[in-house]
């Protein structure tokens, strides 16, 4: 898989002291779907805008298919952007919008008509070809923006939070549609979002960004199952984060203690020392609630506590268990077929929870730098 985007210690500062992007190195392979994920202000949009050519990097280089494009203006780069606010031309109708980049690019008229028609067919807007942007719904505008960017057959499609203005249901449908489109066209997609679900659903790889830097880079399952830092663990999905202390270390694992509880987990390549302060992260859905600790599988961790509350979420229950920490321990229980709602524990009752050591992650204190 040849590299299509290469970022070499890319840096962007605004004014004298605001570092938006801080020495980012990233390589994206041809045909990949890569997502830059992070909260607002983490530098993901600035990174995208530098690749598009709207912002000039303070330091570092950008390569597209091996060519240095750092100094090239946006209209000379083989990338196209889908903007967050769609940025449709209000004085042109749908087909004029889609054909705009072709008309000015000197493509013969007949060819433009065919290409625009094909593109509008693909996004399902052929019957709205003569509508003005202000006559379209949000989802339709989104499709026009997509068609307009794709009609130029870019090497890379840059998408800047393209679904953030849509309602939840439409957003879900568009996520699937974008994913299929990506597969069908084989174009590299670089996607920016703050929505972790969106990132996990669509991406081949996710770049989690934090204050201008890459916190972690990997496939959605890698990031979800083995977050490198508490920040990543918290940003993708939710986690029970518990401050603990290392009580025993062996080559590939550690025993940790918090309050009266002790649990065992793998070291995941980290080196711990006895007595060290660490943060433990456990996903709420990777915990099983059992009646008594005797029924736990061999080698599993067991934590005991008292049920504080039990919240019905439709397809699941969220159980808050008091384990003697400041915050309650959260357990999500999916209601599978045939599961009886009545077996949910009453508030005040004592429960035991079992956790596979493979599903416990321990981070050295200060892992978020």
The CB-of-334 to other proteins minimum distance in angstroms stands at 42
Strand partners, 217: 207
107 contributes a contact to other proteins by CB under 8 A: no
Indicate which single residue of 63, 83, 224, 272 sits in contact with other proteins (rule: CB under 8 A).
Answer: 83
Our separate counts of H helices and E strands in the chain read 8, 20
- 3-state SS, residue 236: coil
Site string for other proteins, 303-342 (x = CB under 8 A): ----------------------------------------
Indicate which single residue of 17, 40, 66, 91 sits in contact with other proteins (rule: CB under 8 A).
Answer: 91
Site string for other proteins, 139-178 (x = CB under 8 A): ---------xx--x--------------------------
The CB-of-173 to other proteins minimum distance in angstroms stands at 24
C-beta contacts of 55-60 below 8 A and 24+ residues apart = 55/12, 57/10, 57/11, 57/12, 57/21, 58/11, 58/12, 58/13, 59/9, 59/10, 59/11, 59/23, 60/7, 60/8, 60/9, 60/10, 60/11, 60/23, 60/24
The answer to whether 269 touches 357, Cβ cutoff 8 Å, is no
The CB-of-91 to other proteins minimum distance in angstroms stands at 5
CA atoms within a 13 Å half-sphere pointing along the CA-CB vector of 206: 28
81 contributes a contact to other proteins by CB under 8 A: yes
Q: Which of residues 110-139 bind other proteins (CB under 8 A)?
A: 133-134
Residue among 229, 331, 330 nearest 278 (CA): 229
Question: How many residues lie near other proteins (CB under 8 A)?
Answer: 27
The CB-of-39 to other proteins minimum distance in angstroms stands at 21
CA atoms within a 13 Å half-sphere pointing along the CA-CB vector of 226: 11
Indicate which single residue of 85, 111, 167, 291 sits in contact with other proteins (rule: CB under 8 A).
Answer: 85
268 contributes a contact to other proteins by CB under 8 A: no
68 contributes a contact to other proteins by CB under 8 A: no
The answer to whether 79 touches 157, Cβ cutoff 8 Å, is yes
Residue closer to other proteins (CB basis): 13 or 84: 84
105 contributes a contact to other proteins by CB under 8 A: yes
The CB-of-54 to other proteins minimum distance in angstroms stands at 5
191 contributes a contact to other proteins by CB under 8 A: no
104 contributes a contact to other proteins by CB under 8 A: yes
Per-residue tokens: 38: 């992070």
Q: Measure CA 170 to chain center.
A: 18
Contact stretch for other proteins (CB under 8 A) within 101-109, 181-189, 251-259, 341-349: 101-109
Binding residues vs other proteins (CB under 8 A): 52-54, 73-76, 79-81, 83-85, 87-91, 100-101, 104-105, 133-134, 148-149, 152
């Amino acid at each position: 898989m040849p590299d299509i985007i290469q970022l070499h210690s890319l840096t962007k500062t605004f004014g004298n002291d605001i570092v938006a992007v801080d020495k980012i190195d990233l390589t994206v392979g041809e045909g990949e779907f890569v997502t830059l994920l992070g909260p607002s202000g983490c530098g993901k949009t600035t990174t995208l805008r530098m690749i598009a050519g709207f912002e000039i990097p303070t330091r570092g280089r950008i390569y597209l298919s091996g060519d240095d494009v750092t100094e090239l203006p946006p209209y000379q780069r083989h990338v196209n952007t889908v903007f967050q606010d769609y940025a449709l031309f209000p004085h042109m109708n749908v087909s004029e919008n889609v054909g705009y980049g072709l008309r000015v690019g000197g493509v013969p008229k007949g060819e433009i008509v065919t290409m625009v028609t094909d593109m509008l067919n693909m996004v399902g807007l052929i019957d709205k070809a003569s509508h003005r942007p202000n006559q379209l719904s949000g989802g339709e505008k989104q499709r026009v923006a997509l068609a307009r960017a794709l009609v130029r057959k870019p090497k890379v499609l840059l998408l800047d939070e393209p679904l953030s203005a849509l309602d939840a249901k439409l957003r879900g449908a568009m996520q699937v549609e974008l994913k299929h489109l990506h597969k069908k066209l084989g174009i590299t997609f670089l996607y920016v979002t703050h929505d972790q679900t969106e990132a996990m659903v669509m991406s081949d790889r996710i770049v989690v960004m934090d204050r201008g830097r890459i916190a972690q880079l990997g496939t959605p399952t890698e990031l979800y199952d083995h977050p490198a830092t508490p920040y990543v663990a918290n940003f993708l999905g939710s986690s029970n984060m518990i401050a603990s202390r290392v009580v025993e270390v062996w080559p590939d694992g550690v025993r940790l203690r918090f309050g009266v509880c002790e649990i065992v987990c793998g070291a995941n390549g980290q080196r711990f020392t006895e007595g060290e302060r660490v943060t433990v992260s456990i996903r709420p859905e990777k915990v099983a609630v059992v009646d008594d600790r005797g029924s736990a599988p061999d080698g599993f961790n067991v934590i005991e506590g008292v049920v504080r509350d039990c919240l019905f979420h439709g397809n699941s229950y969220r159980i808050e268990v008091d384990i003697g920490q400041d915050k309650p321990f959260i357990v999500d229980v999916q209601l599978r077929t045939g599961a009886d709602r009545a077996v949910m524990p009453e508030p005040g009752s004592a429960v035991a929870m079992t956790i596979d050591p493979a599903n416990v992650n321990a981070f050295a204190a200060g892992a978020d730098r």
